[in-house]
Structure 1
Amino acid sequence: NTILESSDTLLASGQIEAVGSGLEVDVDDLVFELDEPITVLGNYYLLVVLDPGEQIEETNEDNNIGISNGIVVTDQPIPELDIVPVEFDFEPLTTFLDGSLTMNATVLNQGEESTPNGFFCRVHLSDDNDFDPSEDTQLDTFNFPSLGPDEELDQTRVTLVPGFFSPGFYYVFMECDPTDQISEADEDNNVIQAPGRLEISADPIVDLRLQSFEVSPRNADDGQLVTITAEICNDGTNGAGPSRLRVWLSQDNTLEQTDPILLDYLVEGVDADTCETVVQQAAAACDNFQPDYTVFAKVDATDLLPELDEDNNTALLDTNLTIAGPFCDCVEDALEQDNNSPATPTFVRDTTYENLTTCSNPVDWYALALRRGETARVTITFDNDRGNLDMTLYDASLSGPIDRSLGNGDTEEVVAFVVDQDGDYRFQVEGKTDLDRNVYNMTVEITPPVSGTDLIVTDVEISNPVPVLGETVEVDFSIINLGDVAAGANTARIYMSQDIDIDPGIDILLAQVPITGVPAATLIKRTIEVSMPLGVEGGDRYIGVVADALNDVPGELDETNNVGLSDIFFLEAGCFDLLEPNNSRTGAKTIALTQSQTELLDLLVCSDNRDFYTFCADAGDFLRMTANFDDAQGDIDLRLYSAGGTQLARAEGTGDSESLEVDYVSVAQCYTLEVLVVGSGREVAYELVVENGPAPAELVCSGSAEPNNGFGTAAILMDNLDPIDDDLAICPVSDVDYYRVDLSAGTQLVISLVPGEGEDTVPADLRMSLWSSSQSFLANTVSATEPLIYTVTSGGRHYLRVTSLASGVRNQRYQFDIQGLSGVDIAVSDYSLEPSVADPGERIQYAFTLANNRIDDINGNFYYGIYLSEDLIIDGSDLLLKEVLVNGLDGGESLNVVSKVTIPENTAQDQTLYLAVVADNRSQINEFAESNNRAVLPLTVRPSCVFDSAEPNDLRQDAADFDNYADQPLFLCADDTDWFVFDADPSTQYMIEATFVAEQGDLDLFAYSASGVLLGEGVETGDNEAVIFITPAGTGTAPVYIEVAPFGDTRIEYQLSR
């Protein structure tokens, strides 16, 4: 209650210094935690009592108690909605300019309603313990999605400390919804202070050291979790910001960056002169047939920190980690013998063999003793993730292959059907590359000569292993007639099944395929398009093809082998409606508008599955699109794009509907509508209503300032001076445009009409006139080219009117050029990036000129932001990488800005993004034109480097056999060198040529003798490279080593030939 009682809990006490007569003292904010939790629900108050011991004799003791607002303690959700930051911290406590720190924030919506949209929380640095967003420095921003009732969300951000900040000690605060975009039940609980103070130093002194490192147990089964414990110490005087701890498994005693990573862990920070212990678990996974590993650990593995000493960052276990399992230990199988050559194959018969391996040899050779007329089918199954295996079956004389299976799934199959002679038919199982080795099971089926007709189905494949409901895919299959009697016309059926047993009574029939006939001892192939069914559950599925499904072939000898199955595939059925698939702009569903109103019912959109529709409209039409939904399920937003992909409009309101409209279609064209859900984990049912027809006459050809047809609806002049964004026009017939502007007495105003964007001249019929605040006439022009010149005699609001003398003209476009009008105009120019091709985590230098093109000074501060975008449109969906404060800008002043920004580590590779600078990105400054505030340049994120089948061959002692890789596609990375070796005759001239395209980069060739003497080099520029050399004299062949080295920052595909 509000009465001070002896049972009240004392939270804090302090000393007040003497207070002079008539003076007051401000007490800093107090922050404290309750020693005991509040367990009784109800209203509570904070009471501040002055002079509780009555040491001061006062004239009035009754006013010594101050009472706070009420604090409600409840176990019920707060009515409406209420955003509360409940936890906020950072580490390390010390950092440096251009350094980084990790911030963790937890935000709760403790209300009964969902937030209508996403929101953000700003982080501020304060010199004192008193939060004041108008004075404190903004450091970073957390962006939160929409939160449901009683929903809590944790976020972690790695924050860079800008180099222009002042070193010192700071208190760190976070304020949620600082711009009051969300109406809350309580706005007073939106600020939280992080524990501790942040120290920012000017000079970084950081030295991380791996004090200890352990993996337990040292003997583990394949896939077993092992515990990794690392103690990381910082011997520097500055805190170390976020860095990565990596643990590698190496097959030798040398750490290579290409070694498999056992653990990749983000160390959030280590304060100066302290140690942090990391305990993590990871699954021990062996490379194929490699059980023993040297284990290395390294702190700051990606070199993010400016350390004094990096030699103490790495440690290794004193003994190996041993991983056991069928894929780890190379144990020869029962059929191994000496079957690594076609001369010594293992003969197999009609049966199944399990746990065969290619561990000791990269290829296994087998043989089938077949009699004339017999048919053999060999199938192997394996885990393709462990290594890709292929099969090739040869004829009896080994002169050529009968069948090959070179797929990328978990099954390979070859068939020798109705062989024409007795003999030993060899086949091989081998890795797709030299590095692909595996464990596999093999089934051999031998069918004796068939007198009659016998159909079998093989090689069933589906073109997309992850189709969605309704998607059209291709199914390939082969039908073989094993018999000596032709099969007549029949029908094959294609089914989709949940298991490997095809049951026409249960499984879904996808297609019936007429087969005109299958001659004796013949194979036919077919490719058929089928559509995935609608309205079914998703999951693992098989495609089954049944030959002679209607029993059209009389007297077939064996009906049990008429079924062939595909590999298992996954049918995607999440968030499905009858207009799926339509989850991208390129895959938008085109809807024909055949009536004035088209209703699309029973639609479904999800957070991770947006919907896109294309609508086409004729010139002179309007187009209105409305989505109706229940906002209790979630909030839907709309975006509209032109045919070229430019975003034209967006609807982001609240409530049960969103609507977008094109009021007038000037040229017949198509538009794409995007329907998306705000927030994550949402699934919203909706209906889409599309209205289309002739546009009303009064809306035809409206300019961007419309409606502005009178003094009462006059548009703001300063909002319509952008030559790019503002399309002003007198249209339709009888239109008049009014603009309002506040002018000071003595202003010398010169207003001219100039051609609209894309126009060559100003329409000759246009006229201007100026009117006072009392709507009295002041001045006018008598031609379109005459400027309106006027000196303001009385300050206040003025009106500018534009009229046309033309008759029947529907569209007369124009813009303004105004001199003497006070104001500001922020402009960005001369924008550049270095480099423009980068890796995730790389620092990019940007430079641009920031200018105020108008005469008035910008006395207040504003910001510019650096954004990372997937397209040229900079909007709320783009990622803000950096925000910099600008301390005003005088009229006519310009600044040359040069700084750096880091591309986020988690940026997807092999894509082109856009890096944009946006001046006044918070829209704090009221200015003439906004379109010149931004500049955008493409930024290419490099593809990850692909290691070819010859790797590892980075060192001379690991040189690959030249002849095995000649004329094969190879790949060279910027930090890579490829070595090859071949035996060369003495005193012989050789030419080694590398074929590549110089647009990808340049590479050089070097030839060395066995003793390391350079024999020749090729270091030209342009496409391709060659090295010509003569081998030393001698009595026999000797190895020659070829080095392929990149020149510069190169990632290049090439081929070698001799």
Structure 2
Amino acid sequence: NGTAENRGKSPVRKPLSLDFYLSSRQTLDASATHLGSHKLSMMEAGSHSPFETQVLVPAQVKDGSYYLLARVDPKGEVVEVDEENNLLIAQGRILLAPDLVVSELKSELMKEGSRVSITGKVKNQGNRPVGRAFSLALFLSSDGSIDDGDLRIAVQKVEGLAADSATSFSLNYSLPEALGPGSYFVLAQMDSEEKIYEWDESNNIYWGSSLTLGPDLAITALTTNFSKDGRQIVVQDIVKNQGRYSVKQPFKVSYSLASKEVSVSSGQNLGSREVSTLSPGEASSATTTFPVGSFPKGAYVVWAKVDAEKAVLDMNRANNESRSDEIRIGPDLMIGGLATTLLPDGEQVEIEETIKNQGTLPARHRFQVAFYLSMDDRLDGSDRLLGNRWVDGLEVGTESRGKTVVPLPPKTEPAQAFVWARVDPEEVIGELETANNTATAGRLLKTDVDLVMGQLTPALISNGEQMVLTDTVKNLGPDAIPGSFSVAFYLSRDGVIDSKDLLLGERRVEGLKAGTTSSGTTTLAIAPEAGTGKLSILARVDSRNQVTERKETNNDYWGSSIHLGPDLILTELKGEVASDAHEIMVTQVVKNQGNRVTPTSFKGAVYLSKDIRISSDDLLLGKPVVASLVPGAASTARSAFPIPPSLENGKYTLLGQVDPDQEVSEIEEVNNDQAGGEFFLGPDLVVEAIKSTLSPEGDRITVEDTIRNQGNRPTSGNLEVSYFLSRNWSIDDSDTFLGSRTVSRMGPGEPSSANTMLSLLKKKIPTGRYFVLARVDGGNSVIETDETNNIRPTLVPLVIRQEKEKK
């Protein structure tokens, strides 16, 4: 389709013939093939006649690239003012050829990775049939490109293919025993012997899905239960390697807690355990405990997932998950402390108690704590209710402390009476355990001595190997303490003194008068068994129970906390991408700025990310191992990591993480991440050189130019280089498009040079000085590292004159 124009001042009084030709050159000569003609009606002066017609390409025209030419009045039946402008060449070329592609390629491992099944489709998406047989070659490649190191699976013959038609293929292939574990790609190559002329030879290789040959990790058993105190989930599991390859590197088994209706990905992470290696057929069993967070009351399951980080080339990840039987979660109220004080009048008792919810759910309803008087050390129905207090619910892990004064029945002998407490006697709270809802403080005693801690201040010295403690003890009672007693100091992880805490040492106090204080400074060594992490400093006055007090519940004191352990940070992270983007060299500097040596070596992690935050969408490049670090020491490592060819082009940020698997217990865990520099993966097209020559007749321009891909990745598919005529060095709507040339796939650093002859419509171009500009990838079909360097002008302008000015 197009438009014919009568530019003359006289009308055309008879019909005209408009003829069309195919030519391999930009000239109309005897080698051109006549396609057909179209009749134009009579045309008035200055008028236009649009046309649209279909022509048949003769079968004898060979496959190839052609120009379409149109000539009006080819027999010269009309006398014209200018007979030289009757021929027009259409922009671009017409390609007549088949185009073979693999439109579909699927692969599946069978029989524990010993065989592979391959199916697919071959398509001719060109406009000409393939009239002869051609080959389809299938390869197994570890890097996604066909080379001498790949395993050729099969070569199949295809007996021709009509235009716009497809044919299917399938085969089963036994993998060699010597083939090592790893990730492989099934590649298909069309016309590997290059017998068929095609309009695009760059799309003959098809990259199918990847196959993983390696171990096969499966969870074969999983059971769960709660610990006796209800604070932990106990998980027992068995992981087995069912594949034919060994697992030679450590991997993790991760656990999460979820309601029965959701999948593993929606659950809350509990933690993990590590498995070092597994031979074929070998199994690893373990019992792992995890603290339980706050969950809605209900039924839950524990999900176990093996190798969630994909550290192992597992050939079958469908069996990497397993779900436990149902477990139930709820609150659990207990009496954590109970003390009684007989008031001076001998007729009332002051009761102090602490109620704690040690379950896994809050107690959301109001409940009471009831107090009873018993004449023996048992609580039963015969005991007398003294009083109660109410608690307005209790969150998980929190306490409610109360002080209640109740009257004693007349004629009660204190030395023979016991005071009991029972939490939630009406059972309004649905608990996991009710056996711990009662407690007694023992017999009522008369005493006027009361010891309390008034101050406890710690200070670390000697790089955290010792601690200086300053404390103050006071006797609040009206009576003096004649004998000596002890003040003990502990390191605790939960703020409550119990058998799990580490006793640091004691100081002795040689008696204490009524209302007076005793202060002391004690230097104590911190034993290695203190471990690492955030620890509380606790003190207990009269730790050996040498003094009988009227109140025993106020002897403990919680001082400030200290941090013991290493603290790992990344002080430097930088990377350098190879010229062809096949790998990145990363330099990391890891420092231990804590006060403890790291107990073992640990890993780092390096990622490529689209942003500056580490997430599951990022590409893990590797996990280099860092040797153990003493406090203040640093470790520098340079590692080369391959960049997968499948990683899409674009801008990436290098991210680093110290101890990603949390193998080291640190003072601070939130400072382990670090962002490095930004990198761009992809081609970068530039017009490296250009010069132009105007023909003596002034009717055409010859452009000699060189295009180069100065990026680090190849382009995909064909590119277009466009040429423009402009009065300046920039391209805008006022400039004249001259034509274009096509450039095939370009590798990193690869150039493309050409001489292109461009027809010049001289009647439409005013006289003047013009520059020729070349633009590569004007349609921005290629994502480049720099889109601003795609245009280059000639340095020397051309002088173009109108015909009449030449005369």
* TM bucket, shorter chain: 0.3 to 0.5
Higher-RCO chain (CA-CA 8 Å, sequence separation at least 6): 2
Length-normalised TM-score, structure 2: 0.33
Length-normalised TM-score, structure 1: 0.26
Rg larger in structure: 2
